Amino acid sequence: MKITLNVWRQSSPQAAGAFVKYDVDGVSADMSMLEMLDVLNDRLESKGEAPIAFDHDCREGICGSCGFMINGVAHGPEKEITVCQTHMRSFKDGDELTLEPWRAMAFPVMRDLMVDRSAFDRIIQAGGYVSVRTGSAPEANATPVMKEHADMAFEAAACIGCGACVAACPNAAAMLFTSAKVSHLGLLPQGAPERDKRALDMVAQMDKEGFGHCTNHGECEAVCPKGISVNFIARMNRDLLKATLRSTR
Amino acid sequence: MTLDGKCPSGPIETAWDTHRFNMKLVNPANRRKYNVLVVGTGLAGAACAATLGELGFNVQAFCYQDSARRAHSIAAQGGINAAKNYQNDGDSVHRLFYDTVKGGDYRSREANVHRLAQISVNIIDQAVAQGVPFAREYGGLLDNRSFGGAQVARTFYARGQTGQQLLLGAYSALSRQVHAGTVKLHTRTEMLDLVVIDGRARGIITRNLATGALESWIGDAVVLATGGYGNVFFLSTNAMGCNVTATYKAYKKGALFANPCYTQIHPTCIPVSGGYQSKLTLMSESLRNDGRVWVPKSAADATKDPSTLPEDQRDYYLERRYPSFGNLVPRDVASRNAKTVCDEGRGVGHEVDGQRRAVYLDFRDAIQRVGKSTIEARYGNLFHMYTKITGENPYESPMRIYPAIHYTMGGLWVDYNLMSNIEGLFVLGEANFSDHGANRLGASALMQGLADGYFVAPPTISDYLARVGWGSKITAEHEGFKAALGETNDRIQKLLNIKGKRPVDSFHRELGNVMWDKCGMSRTKEGLEEALKRIPEIRAEFWENVNVPGENKGVNQSLERAGRVADFLEFGELMCLDALERAESCGGHFREESQTEDGEALRDDVNFCHTAAWEFKGVETAPTLHKEALTFEHVKLTQRSYK
Amino acid sequence: MSWLQSLYASTIGKKAVMAITGLIIFGFTLGHMAGNLLAFFGEDTFNNYAATLKGNPPLLWGTRLLLLTVIPLHFLTAFQLIKRSNDARPATYSKWQPQRSTYASRTIRFGGIYLLGFILYHLAHYTLFLTNPEFGGYHDAQGRHDAFRMVVEGFSNPVNVAVYLVAMLSLVFHLSHGAWSMFQSMGLNHPKYNQLRERAAWTLAIVLTVGFSSVPIAVLTGVVHR
């Protein structure tokens, strides 16, 4: 197939970017989106041109490195997958695709389709953990956990931190990401002692990073490669309000 | 050089406890005076950095990814072993120890493996306390499943994302220490050299992948937890960024590289679909419980629609050759047989480079027997993944699978303390060689990474630091740092100045093809000698004709890849040399010259019951081989048989 | 009270303010609508209702004060949040395809702005008599303020009715998302009852809109007349 790409090219964080058009022929339906970019990049490199920069690593949809907008949809048209697992059979010969980086104040563009998502790390550092020293853990089966809660905690914990939720949100909010961690740990008895503090600290950091607020559009859930539910956002809202009312700070 | 594994003497059951008591401690008030550099933030690296931070040491942690959470430990699907015996099915520390030594085909160190089995139970406690959402039963207690042919159910799991959940646990512990200020995290930072001063590892040189800046980091100890080298094959189940650079640079600075030829092939991966293929995706081995592996009897039928081929035209080769184990033979046996039938021209699927490399994994009979819904309940997510990648429906036509490189058991040589022969250089997880011998059992990689990171390295590193003290003042102005920084910069400039005609990946693919053909699932003397001739030629062309566009400023992903490929082009040679030297078959290393009459791997315990550790002598000079003899006092040497 | 300040400073706290103020305004509009429907029972009932309200200053001023606090707070918070949202994405996409959001959710802020304008007009029209100073001087036979005449005359003007009906249309969209969103923002969420929330939001939005629209339409079509 032949695919025409409009790719956002930006040589550095400070530089002004622009869309550049590339015609890629010989695209196979079995290629992944990123393999198609590899082919284009090999051609660019052979000519001594700078290849298109994009984050990627595991290429099996779990590391969360990859992600950009394909025709205005985070991670492209297929549901519950990342761009690395989007295959070209999702498109047809002659299609024109616009590839654009995640856009948010808290995710500055580093180069081309690559953005800086370190704000996510700082949100986790603010409280996305259970304070347990190595060696101080009690016997694993000492605390039974209701299966329903363990399963729900897993569903929240499945977040890969790719940033699609922020990218797709009309307000560039990081609510789905933050709420997934707040809920994962809040649902388990091991995370209960720090539940209030965690919600307060993580939300404060989320706001400090400059993410927007939640207007309950559900765009985040729709593009999430792990299908994480907006129910967790409500859960975090509840946790934060409760924590505000009952904590001593 | 004599290799001393420093294994404690006395009964193996109490060796680790005794050893821990004998180790020196650092006074809590003095801990912050020590700097420890931890490279890699996978299970081993993140766990180690977090634990050292908790103890009060000053830790600098580095990863090439944009976040510590993305290390490739995250992709491990199956589970983690632990000798908890929650199922009351007869498991014990000794049984896990025994299974691991045997599974490693008697090429690992007994003392290390025993310690691993002992610590396995603490890992589960730790992970659960961190909030790792392991699968649970309705009673609220932890669930287990059996894995990798073990006769007990000792594997803890979190759906098909156990690695992800354990890594996020370690990442959260690390994040907590970053918040506490004991760990400084440097993401998008790649280690490019090790600095050794007066025989001690004293620092590293890194490149900031966002700005291109080269930096020197000074430490009292250096920890490498940088993973395996499976990407020497270009195509593997490793992440695209996985590389050998950190361990290889340490090797060039004098650390011994042990058993590089031990690589593990996973039999059930999605096959290559074209020359553009960038990586391979693994699918759980559990598929072989219900799927039947076959190829057409005649090569002429390779392109026919498989559902039209009658029963008598199909060759269920595993069931034919191994009537008792059938489709459930171990990974290496299943893999080699797939290669054999494809080499005979009976492979199916896409033709890539003139050969079809895939076999059918057919669920037709299983669906007839137990119904589609049962198969869907068992493998629904795997079938879904297969459909996403291939666009085909495995409920209607058989899956196509082929083996792929999955894990590397070899790595930097370490003693019982996980310290390499360079003082102060500790090597953890897949990056070291110590626990899996010639073959790793399923669900053991996560166990080893976390055992090393949480429980083994922190006390042994403390012991080392207590012994060397904090007095020695070294700055980045030291000759050792200046020289390493200069060399690193020169190499980068050299890569950038070639401006040849070929893109970086084309060399990596070419090397990968040679490695896969000659040093892959099955190896011969002639093939390895051919590879040893071919690799230096590819390397020479690389240094003349590669095109690395741009400059060393800002993000330059071509430059990142070029540096890694340059190291693979040297490392591949070392691997082939080790494979050539080891003229026996063991675990993942199959030498065609050393097989039984039935075509099974034949170990040679008389000549090869040792660890082969290689010492660097120059890029164009042959390395020196050192041998560490392996003794087996608790597990008797026996030959495997799966007939 | 610094915890209240820090709650208000957070995006989630602001959303809670939106939810609570929204709920109060919603409650008021329900009562307001019920009162309006008394127009169908004729002049006497309607004027009696108006006089009762006026004759109960604590209720009247209590409600007015509450609304004077809550409505500006609802709008102020909304404007602050909109600004925050704009700041959070300074560079917009050249292409953006909605996946899950609805027309109602995407237009809630524009509907809100229209409703703000409408409320000011509505106050000027029927409460402060700025647009029609003569309304204040209407009295019925019993000497009560003739609110019924005011309503009938007001809604005899088709342009006026159009302004009201557009406002009610905005209200249905605003509430259909807002009422559901309110539960979500306050953390009132349970898989078992979530569907109920959406249905309730739509039902109440439609009831309100139909109720409010019925009076002007009835006047214009002559169903309600003096």
Residue C64 sits in a domain of what CATH number? 1.20.1300
Residue B238: DSSP 8-state? S
Q: Find the length of chain A.
A: 249
R_g of chain B computed on alpha carbons: 24
Q: How far is CA C96 from CA A103, A104, A112, B446, in A?
A: 11, 14, 18, 41
Assess contact for A27 and A3: CB atoms under 8 A. yes
HEC profile of B146-159: CCCCCCCCCEECCC
C218-223 own/partner pairs: CB under 8 Å, 24+ apart:
C218/C39, C218/C40, C219/C39, C219/C151, C219/C152, C219/C155, C219/C156, C219/C161, C220/C155, C220/C156, C220/C158, C220/C161
> Span C35-61, mean pLDDT?
95
Contact A63 B502 (CB under 8 A): no
A128 and A57 part of one domain: no
Q: Out of A215-224, B78-87, B330-339, C113-122, which region has the weakest mean confidence (pLDDT)?
A: B330-339
Domain boundary among A74, A95, A111: A111
SS (H, E, C) chain C: CHHHHHHHHCHHHHHHHHHHHHHHHHHHHHHHHHHHHHHHHCHHHHHHHHHHHHCCHHHHHHHHHHHHHHHHHHHHHHHHHHHHHHHHCCCCCCCCCCCCCCHHHHCHHHHHHHHHHHHHHHHHHHHCCCCCHHHHHCECCCCCECHHHHHHHHCCCHHHHHHHHHHHHHHHHHHHHHHHHHHHHCCCCCCCCHHHHHHHHHHHHHHHHHHHHHHHHHHHCCCCCC
Q: What is the pLDDT of residues B298-348, one digit of tens each?
A: 999 999 999 999 999 999 999 999 888 888 887 888 899 999 999 999 999
Question: Long-range contacts for B504-508 (Cβ within 8 Å, ≥24 apart)?
Answer: B504/A45, B504/B546, B504/B547, B504/B548, B504/B558, B504/B561, B504/B562, B504/B565, B505/A38, B505/A42, B505/B561, B505/B565, B506/A42, B507/B538, B507/B541, B507/B542, B507/B546, B507/B565, B507/B569, B508/B234, B508/B561, B508/B565, B508/B568
Residues A137 and A218 in one domain: yes
Domain coordinates of chain B in residue numbers?
267-403, 479-614
Q: How far is CA B314 from the centre of its chain?
A: 35
Question: ipTM surpassing 0.90, yes or no?
Answer: yes
**Chain C residues touching A222 at Cβ < 8 A:** 99-100
User: Is residue B78 very low, low, confident or very high in pLDDT (cuts 50, 70, 90)?
Assistant: confident
pLDDT score for B285: 82
Whether residue C78 lies inside any domain: the answer is yes
The number of distinct structural domains making up chain C is: 1
Residues recorded for chain B: 643
Contact of B252 with B609, CB cutoff 8 Å: no
> C194 or B134: which carries more pLDDT confidence?
B134
Are the Cβ atoms of B274 and A28 closer than 8 angstroms? yes
Check CB contact under 8 Å for C92 and A103. Answer: yes
Regarding whether A231 and A169 lie in a shared domain, the answer is yes
**SS3 category, B207:** strand
Best of A202, A217, A245, A248 to disrupt the C interface (most C CBs within 10 Å) is A217
Q: Which two tokens stand for residue B240?
A: 């695209």
On whether residue C157 sits in a domain, the answer given is yes
Final residue of a structural domain among A111, A146, A163: A111
Of A28, A59, A154, the CB nearest to B276: A28
The pLDDT score that the predictor gives to residue B419 is 98
Residue-level pLDDT at B643: 63
Q: For residue B148, what pLDDT is reported?
A: 64
State pLDDT tens for residues B258-275.
999 999 999 999 999 999
Residue C97 lies in a domain: no
Share of chain B above pLDDT 90, in %: 87
User: Which of B20, B48, B175 to probe by mutation at the A interface, max A CB count within 10 Å?
Assistant: B175
Contact B66 A118 (CB under 8 A): yes
Q: Among all residues of chain B, which has the CA nearest to that of A138? A: B125
Helix axes A231-246, C2-9, angle to 10 degrees: 160
Helices (H) and strands (E) in chain B, counts: 17, 21
Strand positions, DSSP E, B363-492: 399-408, 411-412, 425-427
Asked whether the beta carbons of residue B65 and residue A63 sit closer than 8 angstroms, the reply is yes
CA atoms within 13 A on the CB side of A185: 28
> Do residue A157 and residue A57 come from a single domain?
no
- Name the minimum distance, in Å, from the CA of B126 to any CA of chain A: 5
**Confidence class for position B385, pLDDT limits 50, 70, 90:** confident
Report how many domains make up chain A.
Answer: 2
The CATH code of the domain that includes A56 is 3.10.20.30
Residue where a domain stops, chosen among A95, A111, A127: A111
Distance (Å) of CA A16 to CA A109, B288, C123: 10, 53, 49
Which CATH architecture fits B479-614?
Answer: Up-down Bundle (1.20)
Q: What integer pLDDT is reported at residue B289 of this predicted model?
A: 84
pLDDT confidence bin for B160, thresholds 50/70/90: confident
State the nearest Cα–Cα gap between A156 and chain C, in angstroms: 15
Backbone angles phi, psi at B143, to 5 degrees: -95, 155
State whether residue B61 is helix, strand or coil.
strand
Answer yes or no: are the C-beta atoms of B549 and B230 closer than 8 Å. Answer: no
Taking CB atoms and an 8 Å limit, are C188 and A234 in contact across chains?
yes
**A130 in helix, strand or coil?**
coil
Q: Residue A76: which domain range? A: 3-111
CATH annotation of B267-403: 3.90.700.10
Q: What is the pLDDT of residues B202-226, one digit of tens each?
A: 999 999 999 999 999 999 999 999 9
C117's CB contacts (< 8 A; 6+ apart) are: none
Structure tokens at B288: 């072989």
Nearest to A105 among C90, C102, C105 (CB): C90
Whole-number pLDDT of residue B642: 63
The pLDDT mean for chain B works out to: 95
Q: Do A217 and C105 touch (CB under 8 A)?
A: yes
Only one residue has tokens 């490279």, namely B39
Per-residue pLDDT, B1: 80
For residue B149, the model assigns a pLDDT of 59
Place B155 in a pLDDT band, splitting at 50, 70 and 90. very high
Q: What is the pLDDT of residue B518?
A: 96
For the stretch C110-134, pLDDT in tens is 999 999 999 999 999 999 999 999 9
Higher pLDDT, A32 or B1: A32
Q: Do C88 and A211 touch (CB under 8 A)?
A: yes
Query: Does C contact A via 3+ CB–CB distances below 8 Å?
Result: yes
The DSSP call for residue B451 is: I
B202 part of the active site: no
- Helix ranges (H only) for B296-414 are 317-321, 331-341, 364-370, 372-390
d(CA A41, CA B79): 37
Chain A neighbors of C89, CB-CB under 8 A: 103-105, 171-172, 212
Q: Minimal Cα–Cα distance from A136 to chain C, Å? A: 34
Tell me the CB-side half-sphere exposure of residue B551, using CA atoms within 13 A.
3
> Which residue in the list B95, B207, B292, B331 is annotated as catalytic?
B331
- Indicate yes or no: CB of B278 within 8 angstroms of CB of A59: yes
| Nearest chain A CA: its distance from C177 CA (Å) | 9
Residues A146 and A219 in one domain: yes
Q: What is the amino acid identity at position B548?
A: V
Tell me the pLDDT band of C1, cut-offs 50, 70 and 90. Answer: low
Instruction: Give pLDDT, residue B353.
Output: 85
Q: Answer yes or no: do A15 and A58 share one domain.
A: yes
Range of the domain at C135: 2-87+102-220
Residue C92 lies in a domain: no
Over residues B551-601, the pLDDT tens digits come to 999 999 999 999 999 999 999 999 999 999 999 999 999 999 999 887 788
With 80 as the cut, is the pLDDT of residue A150 above it? yes
- The answer to whether the Cα torsion of B195, B200, B201, B202 is positive or negative is negative
In the prediction, which pLDDT does B333 show? 84
Which residues of chain C approach chain A closer than 8 Å at the C-beta? 3, 6-7, 9-16, 81, 84-85, 87-102, 105-106, 108, 177, 180-181, 183-189, 191, 194
Chain A residue numbers touching B236 (CB-CB < 8 A): none
Say if residue A142 is in the same domain as residue A212.
Answer: yes
Nearest CB neighbour to A147, from listed B140, B176, B549: B140
Residue B277: closest CA among chain A residues belongs to which residue? Answer: A35
Q: What is the pLDDT of residue B380?
A: 86
Identify the burial level of A106 via C-beta atoms within 10 angstroms of its C-beta, where 0-12 means exposed, 13-18 middle and 19 or more buried. Answer: buried
Residue A75 sits in the same domain as residue A190: no
pLDDT at A119 over 70: yes
d(Cα B104, Cα B635) in Å, to the nearest integer?
12
